[in-house]
Amino acid sequence: MRNRSSVRNLEMFFFSLALCLGLAGSAEAQGKYPTREISMLLSSPAGTSTDLCCRALVTTASKVLGQNIIVLNKPGAAQSIQLVAVKAAKPDGYTLALLESGGASAQLLKPVPYDYLKDFNYIMQAFGYQHGIVVQSEAQWKTIQELIAYAKNNPGKLRMGVLGVGSGHHLAAERLAAKAGVKLNIVPFGDSVTALTNLLGGHVDAVCSASTFIPYVESGQMRILAVAGGAEKRIPKYPDVPTLMETYGFGMPSFPAIGGPKGLPAPIVETVHLAFKKAMEDPEFIKTLDKFATPLVYRNPEEITKYVQDFFTELSPVVKQLGLRKE
């Protein structure tokens, strides 16, 4: 009887020990991040300047975190495909995203199935945008003023390509038309590569685009007439090209923000923040930014969250004033 009791006590001891060790291991696993592959959802198509800059940054951040980060391009529907997927993702840090200002602009212009101010967690910003207005190199217009003069003398004839209805580029073109008092024939495209290809083919006269146009300018195929926003400074490579702030009195705020679904735990936010901040120092990332004249811009979680809020505060009355909101 005593032996049976001793055996039972011994079994209970080992069971309790195993249970404690299991709970401890479980708690440790819950506290560690990341322990598996991470997805980075991107609305920009492969091959665009945003895509290539993001991939260069992610490559180094993966090494810092010790886990692969896989970039998944989800273009289309004015970024809604990507943003709906991010919104629906579990806030566990394994679905991250590059949240771009184009989706925020779309929210200003029409009803969308997400809310930039409520549905996402903003972690940091690592680089900015450099938008510009470009024409073919053999085009008759040598300056932005000449382009606008042509538009004024030929109402509705000048075809201005932009990256989608509701994008920041669309809004910039609409603001330019209003400020200059001209009527533009605005032609939306799904991405910058398609827009620029159509410019080379003569299907549009000018394009307002992100800096995917830089290689075309450097090869002599295109001419940049104005910096349309983003950093709101002249491009160092082209110091003679003015900004729209200088010429027409407005800039176009924009951002690519690393983030994820609402509800990300603070320790995960900080881990991702520090990893991507460290990745900003990588020479290959900086080299990729230089290729597209893209500025290095750092904002921490609090700063990028405020910047997104300020984006809506600044542009909401502009959209209302221009009558661009569609219900």
Q: In the chain, how long is the greatest CA-to-CA distance?
A: 108
pLDDT at 9: 52
Q: Say what the pLDDT of residue 304 is.
A: 98
Report how far residue 71's alpha carbon sits from residue 57's, in angstroms, rounded to the nearest whole number: 11
Residue 327 pLDDT: 77
Whole-structure pTM value: 0.82
SS3 28: helix
d(CA 75, CA 150): 34
CATH numbers and ranges of domains, the chain? 38-128+255-322 (3.40.190.150), 130-248 (3.40.190.10)
d(CA 165, CA 313) in angstroms, rounded, equals 21
pLDDT digits (tens, 9 = 90+) for 280-311: 999 999 999 999 989 999 999 999 999 999 99
Q: Quote the pLDDT of residue 208.
A: 95
324 pLDDT band, cuts 50/70/90, is: confident
Q: What percent of the chain has pLDDT over 70?
A: 90
Residue recorded with tokens 């221009």: 322
9-56, pLDDT tens digit by residue? 545 444 444 444 444 443 334 469 999 999 999 999 999 999 999 999
Q: How far apart are CA 183 and CA 165, in angstroms?
A: 17
Q: Is the pLDDT of residue 211 over 80?
A: yes
Please measure the distance between the N-terminal and C-terminal CA atoms of the chain and give it in whole angstroms.
82
Mean pLDDT of the chain: 89
Interatomic CA distance for residues 127 and 317, integer angstroms: 27
* pLDDT for 30: 47
Amino acid at 237: K
| pLDDT for position 22 | 45
Cα 28 off chain centre by: 34
Q: Does residue 241 surpass a pLDDT of 90?
A: yes
pLDDT (0 to 100) of residue 21: 43
| Predicted confidence (pLDDT) per residue in 74-112, tens digit | 998 889 999 999 999 999 999 999 999 989 999 999 999
Q: State the residue for tokens 């990028």.
A: 304
| 92 vs 1: which has the higher pLDDT | 92
* Residue type, position 305, single letter: T
Q: What's the burial of 38, exposed, middle or buried (CB within 10 Å: 0-12/13-18/19+)?
A: buried
Q: Is 230 helix (H, G, I), strand (E, B) or coil?
A: strand
